[in-house]
Amino acid sequence: MNERLRVNPILCSGHGLCAELLPEQIDLDEWGYPILADQPIPHSLRKLARRAVTDCPALALLLVRDR
């Protein structure tokens, strides 16, 4: 079962923690907002992805099941 990152762009205020924790999947645009890779999260990065979700100060990052 694949998981994917999604961001709630309304809650997101551009803290940028997620991109620090998971640079392989998350980049920041020129305004500091996250650009998510459009692919499922590799197994090796799952733990980091979960940490990024919990650590987001705005609770804007989500892990969703891949459809």
Partner 1 sequence: MTAATKDAMTGVGNAVEARLPRLLPATGQPAELAEHLRVHGPTPYRGGPRLLINTIQAAGLTGRGGAAFPAHRKLTAVASQRGESVVVGNGAEGEPASDKDKALLWSCPHLVFDGLQLAAETVGARQVHLYVHRHPALLQRLQVALAQRAAAGLDRTAVSLVTAPPRFLAGEETAVISRVEGGPTLPRFTTRRIFERGVNGAPTLVSNVETLAHLALVARYGPGWFRAVGTKQEPGSMLTTVRRADGGGGVQEIAIGAPIADLLGLDEHPAQAVLVGGYHGAWLPLEQARRLTLSNADLRPLGAAIGAGVLAALPADRCGLLESAHVVQYLALESAGQCGPCLNGLPRIAATLTQLAERRSAPAALDDLQRWAQLVERRGACHHPDGTVRFLRSALTVFADEVTLHESGRCSAGTTEVFLPIPASSPGHADDWS
Partner 2 sequence: MTAGSAFWYGSRATGVICLVLLSLVAILGVLVNRQGRLPGLPRFAVTGLHRNLSILMVAFLGVHVVTAILDGYAHIPWLSTIVPFTSGYERFWLGLGTVAVDLVAAVIVTSLLRDRLTPSLWRAVHWLAYAAYPVTVVHSIGAGKDLQSGWLLALTVATLLTVVAAIGCRVASTLGAVSRPGRVPEQLARAASTPRTGSLR
For the CB of residue 10, give the shortest distance to partner 1 in the complex, in Å. Answer: 5
* Binding stretches for partner 2 (CB under 8 A): 11, 13-17, 20-21, 30-32, 53-55, 57-59
Q: Which does 64 bind (CB under 5 to 8 A by kind): partner 1, partner 2, none?
A: partner 1
**Measuring CA to CA, which residue among 2, 64, 5 is closest to residue 56?**
5
Residue 48: φ, ψ to 5°: -65, -40
Per partner kind, with CB cut-offs from 5 to 8 A, the member of partner 2, partner 1, none near residue 27 is none
Which amino acid does the sequence have at 54?
A: T
